[in-house]
Structure 1
Amino acid sequence: MKVLVDTPQGLSGRLLRADGEYLFSFDANASEDAAPALGMPLRPLPFRRKSLFPVFQMNLPEGFVLEQIKLRLAKAGIADPLLLLSVIGSHSPIGRLRFNLESPETSGLPVVAGGRPGVRLAELLANKESKALFARLVDDFVLRSGLSGVQPKVLVPEAPPAQASAADQLLTNEKAAVTTSDLIVKSGLDVYPGLSINEFFCMSVVKRAGLPVPEFFLSDDGELFIMRRFDRPADGSRLGFEDMAALAGVDTDEKYKGSYKTVLKLLSFYCSPGGYQSAKSQLFDMVALSCILGNGDAHLKNFGVLYEGVRAEVAMAPAYDIVCTRLYIPDDTLALTLDGSKVFFAARQGLLSFGVECGLKPNSIGPRLAQLAQLTLDMLEEMADTVARLPGLRNAIEPEALLYRRTFAGGA
């Protein structure tokens, strides 16, 4: 069985498994620009690995999405990662790569329908039975949802607004035949109660702090967090995306290993010179806000880079997947080590050292931390009605923000 790996720059090559290892070989006509990853440049010899290459693992679903896909594909007997990759990666996976079996007619795999009607954002936001709606979305679209992370989520094609003219809708439909404008729809369901409100608040803080974020929304009933994918610009192109686990060359199950300094080193190696300084500042703020907000899930897969092609400019991806995990796990720890520790209490001192490593002036780090803490406290007041809809959220965040403000308000 061979899987064709395609890029916007042309066919890249073939992925297969033989003799207990995975092999990726470039197509004879592949160009340098068609390389599948920043760390897999064009070469005559195949790449070999015992487990699936991290850049391809990145496109495999995890958690809730994986379980839902397994349920639907159980009769087809799909347990092989290459078969799964070809099912969910043939239509609209995250990033610029697409995957198809070289001989699909012999696979017996279900076809992922790309022409299903999309869903209007306004309908998602206004629906008063979001849990039931989410279940329907999962049924309709889970086989096209190559999304990592354990949170219940699904990738949904966005339909044009109801007020769009017939000509605009026709243009949108024509564009969708090439690439789909998608919405990532998340729900905490009963596993993580209130997770949508939680993420909406935390991402609102991150946005107010001036960090780049995708466009995001909260449904009226607070049950759905909706985000536009950031790897599909308005011109319909497919941007390359690689998370830090892929860049580090480690398997998905190693996403909690390493440190935030590891992320910094990867940015220094892969980011283009013109964007490295802003990437360092963004990384510091993301780590600092994770400490203030109690986000214990800022692991390697929740940081990444974006690029048009492997030889084009590489920039840090927008911030995403930031939630207060301490609401659900009061004794949670940081996902990666910070100055040798994963303890939230020690993070205040660790951030001072990390800020210097990120290129911040020592006398600016304390004031920035105080500013981020004050901004968080201000947002708790500004969004008080939203925060009150999730009991415990204020109590999970406010004490830490007050501690950071008290510690750093006078500088550091």
Structure 2
Amino acid sequence: MADPRSISTLQVLLNDCKVGTIVRTPGDFNAFSFEDRYRATGGLPVLSLSFRAATGGLRKDPKPVARALPAFFANLLPEDKLREAMEKHHAGQVRAGNDFDLLAALGSDLPGAVRVVPEGDRGPPAANRLPERPKARFSLAGVQMKLSVIKNTGKGGGLTLPLGDEQGSYIAKFPSTSFPAVSENEYANLALAAALGMEVPERELVEQSEFEGIPQEFQTLSDGKVLLVRRFDRGAAGERIHIEDFAQVFGIYPSRKYEGAAYHDIAAALAVAVSVPAALEFVRRLTLAVITGNGDMHLKNWSLIYRGNGSAPQLAPVYDVLSTVPYFPADRMALSLAGERAFKGLTLPRWKIFANRARLPEAAVLNTVAETVERVDQLWWTLPERAVIPEKVLERIDAHVRSMIPVLAGGSA
């Protein structure tokens, strides 16, 4: 691949459809514009609802941004430690903090069906690529140390990092020195979501010893199991399936994922863009986050998925569900629910206000909350996957669940 620092024009592809171009101008301004041919389709397949006009078709091209990418593209990049590791991995080619450089380096394996590649370079390695040792070129949004990996079949098995133009079909989430048993915590919470009938990707706990050839900059110091989750934005044959998170839907930068919108905004958008049942499924998942004490369901942890021809969004499968209260006893909801974030404050009157703001039938919202609480109370205490969570962590989750049942059932803690 050409040195990302020398690239000034990137073409944006949605699978094999060219939708537009990002140009870096002198002064480090980044401008995105749609292709005329793509604009003539009315914007199909859909790149992002944030680019679509209320009257149909596409909005005007967004204004150039100084020293940053437009919000949709900024949300495709990793954050914090994962970003630091990827910048270190591409040291000498990617300037620290430069979004355009990093997007140019990682653009061949982004979340969803988007690819961002140098102008004129759509395919496999070409003659203009520098001879170099293959590098990891995947991007996963978020702050946790997680890698896109390949599960090797056949003799020996094992898990490896995709290099060069390879792409992974699993996400490996590594243990943390700060948050004990975070992999086991999420594994059990995903199992609870599946038991409730929610759409949950395949998942398993694996040993770190199963990974081969992980570059030093991506390794963590913590012992423990790794949570392996099948990517729902990759099909069985490796095909890309488009997704966008709600920071992208609302055109909000990653730095504002905790305050850029409220939960009723997501519900209202789902009701309009997908269906009222999809909005009520969101309510069900939101209730699960409240009762299990998940204070990290920010805008980037809810997504739309575009299956088939990419024209109609659906609510994407559940991901990043875990209980945060064992690590932050005073944790609160990531976003506001009817003006409240404290778990104990999320009584039924708040859900009535939420329903009104989301323009959803109040009775349907309250019934969804009540049914979810009842089902969690039936399932959680005998869920087999509880056994993988260490006792101290499990005790804190259980205490929160017990305290929230009367709050959500109409009583008080």
Query: TM-score with structure 2 length normalisation?
Result: 0.78
Look up the equivalent residue of 1:84 and give its one-letter code: L
Question: Which structure 2 segments of 5+ residues have no match?
Answer: 1-7, 158-162, 209-223
Match of 2:35 in 1: 27
Q: Per-residue CA shift, 1:322-378, capped at 9, x if unaligned?
A: 111111111111100011111111123334544675445366246314314404532
Judging changes above 3 Å, is the alpha-carbon distance between structure 1 residues 409 and 82 closer, same or farther for their aligned structure 2 residues?
closer
Shift of 1:201: 1.1
Q: Does residue 8 of the first structure (1) align with residue 15 of the second (2)? A: yes
Q: Does residue 266 of the first structure (1) align with residue 266 of the second (2)? A: no
Match of 1:374 in 2: 377
Query: In structure 1, what is the Cα distance between the partners aligned to 2:225 and 2:71?
Result: 32
Look up the equivalent residue of 1:64 and give its one-letter code: K
Question: Which structure 1 segments of 5+ residues have no match?
Answer: 114-140, 165-175
The partner residue of 1:78 within 84, 89, 95 is: 95
Look up the equivalent residue of 1:394 and give its one-letter code: L
Match of 2:138 in 1: 145
Q: Per-residue CA shift, 1:265-297, capped at 9, x if unaligned?
A: 2213322xxxx1331122111111111111110
The partner residue of 1:198 within 185, 189, 198 is: 185
Q: Does residue 159 of the first structure (1) align with residue 138 of the second (2)? A: no
Judging changes above 3 Å, is the alpha-carbon distance between structure 1 residues 53 and 163 closer, same or farther for their aligned structure 2 residues?
same
Match of 1:39 in 2: 50
Give yes or no for contact 2:268–2:279 (8 Å, CA) kept in 1: no
Q: Per-residue CA shift, 1:26-52, capped at 9, x if unaligned?
A: 235446335632332576964324342
Shift of 1:218: 1.3
Query: In structure 2, what is the Cα distance between the partners aligned to 1:109 and 1:61?
Result: 25
- The SS at the match of 1:326 is coil
Q: Does residue 288 of the first structure (1) align with residue 287 of the second (2)? A: yes
Judging changes above 3 Å, is the alpha-carbon distance between structure 1 residues 99 and 192 closer, same or farther for their aligned structure 2 residues?
same
Query: In structure 1, what is the Cα distance between the partners aligned to 2:164 and 2:127?
Result: 26
Match of 2:396 in 1: 396
Q: Per-residue CA shift, 1:41-74, capped at 9, x if unaligned?
A: 5769643243422221121111221111122223
Identity percentage of aligned residues? 25
Shift of 1:208: 0.9
Answer with 361-370 or 255-264: which moved more.
361-370
Query: In structure 2, what is the Cα distance between the partners aligned to 1:110 and 1:282?
Result: 49
Query: In structure 1, what is the Cα distance between the partners aligned to 2:379 and 2:343?
Result: 17
- The SS at the match of 1:232 is coil
Q: Does residue 66 of the first structure (1) align with residue 83 of the second (2)? A: yes
**Alignment map for 1:7-406 (pairs within 5 Å):** 7-18=14-25, 21-30=29-38, 32=41, 33=44, 36-40=47-51, 46-50=61-65, 51-79=68-96, 80-90=98-108, 92-102=109-119, 113=134, 143-162=136-155, 180=167, 182-219=169-206, 223-257=225-259, 258-271=261-274, 276-308=275-307, 312-349=311-348, 350-351=350-351, 353-354=353-354, 357=358, 358-359=360-361, 360-361=363-364, 364-365=367-368, 367-375=370-378, 377-379=380-382, 382-387=384-389, 390-406=390-406
Judging changes above 3 Å, is the alpha-carbon distance between structure 1 residues 44 and 355 closer, same or farther for their aligned structure 2 residues?
closer
CA RMSD between the two structures: 3.3
Shift of 1:256: 0.3
Give yes or no for contact 1:240–1:309 (8 Å, CA) kept in 2: no
Number of corresponding residues: 365
Give yes or no for contact 2:188–2:386 (8 Å, CA) kept in 1: no
Give yes or no for contact 1:3–1:82 (8 Å, CA) kept in 2: no
Q: Which has the higher helix share?
A: 1
Judging changes above 3 Å, is the alpha-carbon distance between structure 1 residues 102 and 20 closer, same or farther for their aligned structure 2 residues?
same
- The SS at the match of 1:146 is coil
Give yes or no for contact 2:333–2:341 (8 Å, CA) kept in 1: yes
